[in-house]
Amino acid sequence: IPRAPGVEARLVRVGLAGRFFDELLSGLPSVLMPTIRATLGLSLTQVGLLEQALYYVAAVVEPGFALLIDIGRRPWLMAFGAAGIGLAVITMGLAGGLGMLLAGYALYGLCSGPLTHTADVVLVEAHPEAPDRIFARATAIDTLGALLAPLSVALVFWLGWSWRGLMVGAGALGLLYALAILGTRFPAPRPVDAPAATLDRDPSPDRDAEPKHAASAGPSDPARGRRRGRLRATLATFRANLGSVLSDPAARRWLVFLFLLELIEAPGRFQAVWLSEAAGMGQGLVGAYRVVEMLATFLALIALDRGLGGADRLTLLRRASWLLLLLYPAWLLTPGLAARFLLGAPLAFLMALYWPIGRAQAIASVPGRAGALTALTALYSLLPSSLGLGWLGDRIGLTPSLLGVYGLSMLGMLLALAWMGRTGGDGHPAQPVDLAAPGA
């Protein structure tokens, strides 16, 4: 995939590793949740509380972190995120009760966004001619991380090793990745389409007003006036970027798409618990199931990277949505372990198509303001979907809860895709790509 001028291959590798490490480290507690729940005696509501704590912390801090993406600070944002998620998983691995486990989830919520969202923007801006292709490839690579997590869990349980040691060791890898980020050269953020002040381009954005700021601060502290001017210019940039995103019709369409995807993915957070308790799988078999699921996801992303037959994006997503509306109830309700694997593979294949298309198109719709768009999508975490689903599962059962939430959310997605098609949604064919192309 051709890169933008001045973009080094090391930067692309570091960017691709962002979601790889996020998927690896977040996948471990997700797959291990049946064991964690049994060890610590957690209810479904408490399981939902853990996920909700992660998302609520993220909703509070990610908008601010995301806005910083547009004005620079990218190496430090990514390094902070990588080190933080590493420490979070170490904390989870050492937890002896709900309190420490909750702290680990909250720390993960604090640090995941600065790593993954910054990596997303870096990759898309580094490949402006093919945002879908690089994002499909990035998602394929992070799927390897998602594959490695359940594979590691299955291996550890079959060998009789410590699951806590696995989490501590994986967390240490996050700390090493943070050091690699700090050793990488990052280019300046991509310029926006309309003039907007940024700290990277002008450390004193309002030069004409600077003497006035300094004078108001007093002759004894001219630096205070400069700091105030810089802060005002930064806040003005944030407001302008947010307004630009919200006023863009294409960005609004993809914001709606990503909101519905957030709802559709909520039942997946209870998948490991459901497989263990409703489907009767042991922890090792849950890990094996997730390996099969991740392999199907990986194949889907390779197909998407290759163009998936040249189908336009909205048509592809509509077809996938109708199939998923039929497959998910069948996966939940058909008895037998074999049905889990046979139906779970195509289910994972189809679900894998949504995120790379939606995220890449959303970022590409507002060049230079992807951080502002990310700040808005971070607010979706305020919806108490995990906590509500856990509470509902404790009262009416997990299976009907998952079925109801997924079905209603997917119907909403179908309506949204129809609306996007009528109001000018993207219909360009996905472009094929050679995975072995030079410069990729």
pLDDT digits (tens, 9 = 90+) for 383-431: 888 889 999 999 999 999 999 999 999 999 999 999 988 876 554 443 4
Which residue did the predictor score with more confidence, 126 or 347?
Answer: 347
Asked if residue 58 lies in contact with residue 113, where contact means CB atoms within 8 angstroms, the answer is yes
Per-residue model confidence as pLDDT tens digits over 44-58: 999 999 988 998 898
**Eight-state DSSP code of residue 366:** S
Q: Confidence band (pLDDT; 50, 70, 90) for 138?
A: confident
Q: Confidence band (pLDDT; 50, 70, 90) for 155?
A: very high
pLDDT at 122: 84
With CA atoms as reference, report the closest residue to 29 among 80, 70, 68, 85: 85
Helix (H) or strand (E) holding 433: none
Asked if residue 374 lies in contact with residue 69, where contact means CB atoms within 8 angstroms, the answer is yes
Residue whose entry in the numeric block shows the structure tokens 């970027």: 241
Instruction: Give 217-271 as a DSSP string.
Output: H-TT-HHHHHHHHHHHHHHHHHHHHHHHHHT-HHHHHHHHHHHHHHHHHGGGGGH
- Angle CA(167)–CA(397)–CA(257) in degrees, nearest 5? 70
Structural domains in the chain plus CATH codes = 9-194+232-422 (1.20.1250.20)
Within 13 Å of residue 146, how many CA atoms lie on the same side as its CB? 19
Distance CA 44, CA 390 (A): 5
Tell me, what amino acid is at 436?
Answer: A
**Residues above pLDDT 70, as percent of the chain:** 81
With a cut of 80, say whether residue 231 has pLDDT above it.
no
Residue 17 falls in which region: left (phi positive, over 0), alpha (psi -120 to 50) or beta: alpha
With a cut of 90, say whether residue 171 has pLDDT above it.
yes
With a cut of 70, say whether residue 224 has pLDDT above it.
no
pLDDT at 393: 92
With CA atoms as reference, report the closest residue to 324 among 300, 299, 298, 343: 343
3-state secondary structure of 177: helix
Distance CA 227, CA 229 (A): 5
pLDDT at 247: 82
Q: Confidence band (pLDDT; 50, 70, 90) for 216?
A: very low
Average pLDDT over residues 332-350: 93
Average pLDDT over residues 212-227: 53
Asked if residue 13 lies in contact with residue 78, where contact means CB atoms within 8 angstroms, the answer is no
With a cut of 90, say whether residue 166 has pLDDT above it.
yes
Residue whose entry in the numeric block shows the structure tokens 């997605």: 413
pLDDT at 1: 64
